[in-house]
Amino acid sequence: MIYTAKAHDVVKGEEKTHGVTVLVDRLWPRGISKDKLAPDHWFKEVAPSPGLRTWWNHDEDSFDEFKKRYRAELEENDSEDMDELRQLAKDGDVTLLFAAKDREVNHAVVLADYLQ
């Protein structure tokens, strides 16, 4: 099963992870030390492209269009990160870690749905 969890909440002990933990942001979460989060993997190449992320700017009103565009990017993504993430998802539970403020409107939710 694929889960999502906000990285800041995991560090604070407010949210649990399941299985392998994978940070799916291009940038390390602001304000969190690498020692405190310590994901099993950090797959930068599965995050939305910088152009898509800039276009969207976490605007809830354009989330449906963002989902379409991001899924199209995922379909074309042949990176090692994507291949490894697909394999991890086939092998067992994976928690996708993200740093976005909104727990429901973020790329990790789209990625989890895509992987399932």
| For the chain, percent of residues with pLDDT exceeding 70 | 100
Q: What is the pLDDT of residue 93?
A: 97
Asked if residue 44 lies in contact with residue 21, where contact means CB atoms within 8 angstroms, the answer is no
Express each pLDDT in 32-55 by its tens digit. Answer: 998 899 999 999 999 999 999 999
Question: What is the value of pTM for the model shown?
Answer: 0.94
* Pairing outcome for strands 41-42 and 2-6: unpaired
- Over residues 5-24, the mean pLDDT reads 95
Amino acid at 34: K
Distance between terminal CA atoms of the chain?
Answer: 7
Judged on CB neighbours under 10 Å (0-12, 13-18, 19+), 67 is: middle
